[in-house]
């Protein structure tokens, strides 16, 4: 398969901001970073919808405060993952969502959802993939004794943090680090990397052949 941009913007509306849905489950510091980013008048994307599967997620307060459209779709209200995902899909379709951003969303998406949004769901994981997938990535990195960890923004596939890597950012692990210190150091990087990647996707600078990703700004970012 040839490389193609993740999002193909409608040629009739090239200047309309890309419509993004942010899925959350908890604190929402990444959501806040994206909210702050979209407040800049030049943003090529807008947060058209926030969905939480947890009704008490602090992220929802951030969405409300920012005047965003938000919705709770609780997995507990549905018998199966397919039924839950069907509701997520319905909400995204109704809001004409182009890109789905997982920002601390603690559920796995089904094949049915991913089929509809193939290569248009991205996640931020707090490790340098393919190392330390799944839960407690920072704790895993500390236990492994690695000197560097970081964060990865990747395309979401059916696996756990196994989708094609779009971009990464590294942090050193210091000798007296504990899990909390590492979580915070990595999150500061996530907040920068996620918005950079989403802007790049909106501008057609991220393409994939279904297996790997080409990111036009890769070398510029690495050598900055």
CB of 166 to ligand GRF, least distance (A): 14
CB of 204 to ligand GRF, least distance (A): 25
Which CB atom, from 28 or from 163, has the smaller least distance to ligand GRF? 28
CB of 54 to ligand GRF, least distance (A): 11
For the stretch 63-81, what's the b/e string if a residue is b when 16 or more beta carbons lie within 10 angstroms of its beta carbon?
Answer: beebebebbebebeeeeee
CB of 59 to ligand GRF, least distance (A): 6
- Judge contact between 153 and 221, C-beta under 8 A: no
Please confirm, yes or no, whether 27 is among the known catalytic residues: no
Which residue has its beta carbon closest to ligand GRF?
104
Which CB atom, from 144 or from 160, has the smaller least distance to ligand GRF? 160
For the stretch 113-138, what's the b/e string if a residue is b when 16 or more beta carbons lie within 10 angstroms of its beta carbon?
Answer: bbeebebbbbbbbbbbbebbeeeebb
- How many Cα atoms are found within 13 Å in the side-chain-facing hemisphere of 46? 12
Return the H-helix or E-strand segment holding 149: strand 148-155
Cα–Cα dist 161/59, whole Å: 22
Which CB atom, from 27 or from 218, has the smaller least distance to ligand GRF? 27
Which CB atom, from 180 or from 219, has the smaller least distance to ligand GRF? 180
CA distances from 8 to 18, 84, 95, 119, 201 (A): 10, 27, 17, 11, 9
User: What's the order of all strands across the beta sheet hosting 213-215?
Assistant: 4-5, 206-208, 213-215
CA distances from 192 to 2, 83, 84, 151 (A): 29, 34, 31, 10
Catalytic residue among 27, 65, 75, 125: 125
- Kindly list the residues in this chain that would bind ligand GRF in the complex (CB under 6 A): 26-30, 103-104, 124-126, 187, 190
Which CB atom, from 27 or from 71, has the smaller least distance to ligand GRF? 27
CB of 48 to ligand GRF, least distance (A): 18
| Residues with active-site annotation | 125
């Amino acid at each position: 398969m040839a490389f193609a941009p993740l999002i193909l913007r409608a040629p009739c509306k090239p200047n309309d901001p890309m419509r993004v849905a942010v899925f959350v489950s908890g604190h929402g510091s990444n959501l806040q970073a994206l909210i702050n980013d979209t407040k800049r008048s030049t943003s090529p994307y807008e947060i058209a919808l926030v969905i939480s599967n947890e009704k008490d997620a602090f992220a929802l307060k951030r969405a409300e405060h920012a005047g965003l459209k938000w919705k709770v779709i609780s997995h507990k209200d549905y018998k199966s993952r397919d039924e839950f995902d069907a509701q997520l899909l319905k909400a995204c379709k109704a809001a004409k969502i182009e890109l789905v951003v997982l920002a601390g969303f603690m559920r796995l998406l089904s094949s049915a959802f991913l089929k509809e949004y193939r290569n248009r769901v991205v996640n931020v994981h707090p490790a340098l993939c393919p190392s330390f997938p799944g839960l407690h990535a920072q704790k895993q990195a500390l236990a492994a004794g690695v000197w560097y960890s970081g964060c990865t923004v990747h395309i979401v596939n059916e696996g756990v943090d196994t989708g094609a890597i779009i971009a990464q950012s590294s942090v050193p692990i210091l000798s007296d680090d504990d899990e909390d210190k590492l979580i915070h150091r990595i999150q500061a990087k996530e907040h920068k990397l996620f918005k950079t990647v989403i802007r790049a996707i909106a501008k057609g600078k991220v393409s994939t052949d279904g297996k790997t990703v080409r990111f036009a700004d890769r070398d510029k970012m690495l050598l900055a």
